[in-house]
Amino acid sequence: MFVVAALYKFVALPDYEELQGQLLTLCKENHIQGTLLLAQEGINGTIAGTREAIDTLLTFLKSDPRFDSLQHKEALNESQPFYRMKVRLKKEIVTLGAPGLDPRNSVGTYVKPEDWNDLIADPDVLLVDTRNDYEVEVGTFKGALNPETKTFREFKDFVAEKLDATTHKKVAMFCTGGIRCEKSTSYLLSKGFEEVYHLEGGILQYLEDVPKETSTWEGECFVFDQRVTVNHDLEQGSYDQCYACRYPITDEDKNSPLYVKGVACPRCHDSLTEDQQRRFTERQKQMELAAGRNEIHLGSKS
């Protein structure tokens, strides 16, 4: 059984470039796989390994006082959901593209999962899903507004075009694990919104803490690993993923004549160039050959 750990913290890391090598070495020595992002503003990522391996990494991180209150969320999976280990250096650990924004100084009010239903039942509260369109498509909270963004960077445009601080007096936002809401709530506060709330621990914490019987979550939750989605029990969901466009796909999508395993799905089939189709076809062939040799090919599950 593998432990899948999602973690993040906004904290000043002037030495983030030096941390890259230390973390990569530690993860490889302990057979941990996944992705960690490092920037001057902090750390973010999702990794997976044995219980002992993940504990070793968390102990290493928390031995640094800067990471003593590191946010981290765990789930169990029967197989390793990642194919490799990457530690990347970035300008932002979650990219909004709003220079000068600092969630360490200004952030929305945290709302615990057990209090979330009461908050969003308030008719004066505007509920906003801060995730991307393809994530919202597989599941969201009942009544949530979809910003219809393809990347988090587009969230600023959504705020400018659709939200108004004088009209929307109370805004509640949520995302997968909480990190995007750190940025989005900080951004709204910088634009003059006064009552801004966000779901503490994100959707994943809500699914763990709130019983299905009282839950207002509808559908599954998209996750950024080979599981693709998880259900309300935090078990692997029913979706696969298209390698070409990275969108989640259903069994119905895979029955479409426009679906070619590892190459295209109904969403992207007509937009791929001949070169892309050629590359994806060759990649799928290599994956199948590797599978025949009982080897792991560094690619997507679809």
Residues involved in catalysis: 175
User: For residues 87 and 15, what is the distance between their CA atoms, to the nearest angstrom?
Assistant: 14
Neighbouring CB atoms inside 10 A of 48's CB total 27
Burial annotation 269-301 (CB, 10 A radius, 16+ → b, else e): beebeeeeeeebeebbeebeeeeeeeeeeeebe
User: For residues 245 and 253, what is the distance between their CA atoms, to the nearest angstrom?
Assistant: 13
User: For residues 260 and 9, what is the distance between their CA atoms, to the nearest angstrom?
Assistant: 40
Alpha carbon 71 to its chain centroid, in Å, reads 14
User: For residues 47 and 34, what is the distance between their CA atoms, to the nearest angstrom?
Assistant: 4
Rg of the Cα trace of the chain? 20
Token couple for 222: 């998209």
Quick check: 36 and 49 in contact, CB under 8 A? no
Q: Which residues contact 73 (CB under 8 A, 6 or more apart)?
A: 5, 6, 7, 177, 201, 202, 204, 205
| Kind plus residue range of the DSSP H or E element containing 53 | helix 51-62
